[in-house]
Amino acid sequence: MAFPPLNSEQKALLERARAVIAEAIDGAGGAIPFDRYMELALYTPGVGYYVNGSQKFGRQGDFVTAPELSPLFGQCLAAQCAEVLEATDGRILEFGAGSGALAADILARLQALERLPERYQILELSAELAQRQRQTLEARVPALLDRVEWLQRLPEPGWRGLMLGNEVLDAMPVSRFRREAEGWSESWITQDAEGGLREIWRPAAPALAGALQARAARLGDFAPGYVSEINLRLPGWMRALAGGLEQGAVLLIDYGYPERAYYHPAREMGTLLCHYRQRAHGDFLALPGLQDITAHVDFSAVAEAGVEAGLELAGYTSQAQFLLGCGLDGLLAEQQARAGDDLLSLMSSAKQLILPEAMGERFQVIAFTRGVPPALRGFSTRDLRGLL
């Protein structure tokens, strides 16, 4: 695929990222597992895609997220936040707040609902993104900035409130596997004679092979040559969340499928996808450090990990149904009356959030609770947990 020309700064960043990966490959004896490559490409301090200061969000970046499309998204989520805050009198913790647009929309709406949290915490590993979030909040909700707190690690046990992750799970490093005639293999990344990055396949490690065999036992065997991904880090992450949550809810929004659809025979090349300057492509070795690398989310695995961590599954549905359950219709009616010349833009952005061919069905919402009633309003119109 042809990419836009790189400027000198981008070229330098690309070379630094390649050097970090090359050093890791050399240190590991000539190759690293794919999930380690993905971790380095996305999260190496100062070099990885999410922590290197490059423009990512919005139409001038690599992709557009729901909060960038319309404030309606955050306003609907605020209704769900208010319900949980009413039950816990706690805080909100957002994982990876992007540009800060979602935090600003939620806080503004909660202020209007007279249900502001004592603290709105943002867990952000990138200093550059944290600064951008602060600028967004200063510009849009300056009077509420003193309620915002940035964290670099999960809270200690005893935390109460709502934990929120929008497009977080898709950026977690995954293992890439292939079904062989006999057994399973996994993707490793090495270098060729010219120093370029190259994918090779090796027999799957026991933990990976065991997880894949369990899926094959439930779904039927995979055809030889079938390639896909699995997130082996998910259970540990969910245990860490549950370990800090004394009372409240965990709300996760992302693109993905239940297990049976995720590993459908027709999806024989997996879901791995890269984003660079509004271009989606599959060459995950092309621009490490400059491009996003994501995989769709297996929501059955998320549900299993949450329950095994001691949380109660509170609901699973599409983004469209969740937003409607949180009062999207009422918000639209409220804003149409004063939209004026912006009415067309308001309706267009709302359609992007809920239409099946846009975000409405591609994005899914799952929630877990502890110590609060599990009947969350976002799942009141349609709960699809039976598909998990």
* pLDDT at position 342 over 90: no
Euclidean distance between CA atoms 24 and 21, whole angstroms: 5
Among residues of the chain, what percentage have pLDDT more than 70?
Answer: 96
pLDDT reported for residue 63: 63
User: How confident is the model at residue 306, as a pLDDT?
Assistant: 98
Q: Residue 345: exposed, middle, or buried by beta-carbon count in 10 A (0-12, 13-18, 19+)?
A: exposed
188-226 pLDDT per residue, tens: 999 998 889 999 999 999 999 999 999 999 999 999 999
Spatial separation of the C-alpha atoms in residues 271 and 295, rounded to whole Å = 5
| 346: confidence class by pLDDT, cuts 50, 70, 90 | confident
User: For the ranges 5-19, 34-48, 50-64, which has the lowest average pLDDT?
Assistant: 50-64
Contacts of 260 (CB under 8 A, 6+ apart): 219, 300, 387
pTM confidence score: 0.94
Distances (CA, A) of 318 to 110, 289, 323, 346: 23, 31, 9, 21
pLDDT for res 57:
56
CA-CA distance, 242 to 308, in Å (whole number)?
10
| Domains in the chain, CATH or no CATH each | 1-388 (3.40.50.12710)
The pLDDT of residue 128: 86
